[in-house]
């Protein structure tokens, strides 16, 4: 769906003059700013080549050796590879480069760190859905 009229009030852009295109150049262009809602029946991990595995809430070291342990949606608790503490995926210390959820709001064509949601948007999402929201950046896979 296209970004709405209030988009630039709900997302803060770093830097002085962001060059954001809200319209595709042609029918094949998908490198413009649009919004997609991604909803899944079970929690899903979204990550890209820049993502680091989340940290343990107890010892703060990377809780898992690799992503495969988080890609299994049946897995509800994980044992930290360093201290052995048990944590649920939502308790891990996620970086701003990956996330796990059933519902995502994807904003396309924003570079990592280029923009962030304003606090009132995060509060509004929390109020409307009854759960906490966070944001992260993925690198777009080309080709």
Choosing from 59, 105, 107, 122, the residue that interacts with Zn ion (CB under 5 A) is 59
How many residues touch Zn ion under the rule CB under 5 A: the total is 7
User: SS3 string of 27-88?
Assistant: CCCCCCCEEEEEEEEEEEEEECCCCCCCECCCCCCECCCCCHHHHCCCCCCEECCCCCCEEC
Choosing from 11, 80, 101, 121, the residue that interacts with Zn ion (CB under 5 A) is 80
**Among residues 43 and 57, whose Cβ is nearest to Zn ion?**
57
Only one of the segments 3-11, 82-90, 117-125, 129-137 lies at the binding site for Zn ion (rule: CB under 5 A); that segment is: 82-90
The reply on whether position 93 binds Zn ion by CB under 5 A is: no
């Amino acid at each position: 769906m296209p970004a709405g009229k209030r988009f630039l009030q709900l997302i803060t852009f770093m830097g002085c003059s962001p060059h954001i295109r809200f319209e595709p150049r042609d029918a094949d262009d998908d490198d413009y700013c649009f919004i997609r809602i991604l909803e899944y029946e079970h929690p899903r991990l979204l990550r890209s080549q820049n993502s680091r595995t989340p940290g343990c809430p107890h010892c703060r070291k990377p809780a898992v050796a690799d992503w495969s342990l988080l890609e299994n949606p049946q897995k509800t608790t994980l044992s930290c590879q360093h201290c052995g503490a048990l944590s649920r995926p939502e308790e891990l210390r996620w970086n701003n480069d990956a996330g796990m959820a059933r519902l995502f709001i994807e904003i396309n064509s924003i570079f990592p760190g280029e923009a962030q949601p304003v606090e009132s948007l995060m509060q509004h999402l929390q109020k409307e859905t009854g759960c906490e929201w966070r944001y992260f950046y993925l690198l777009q896979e080309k080709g």
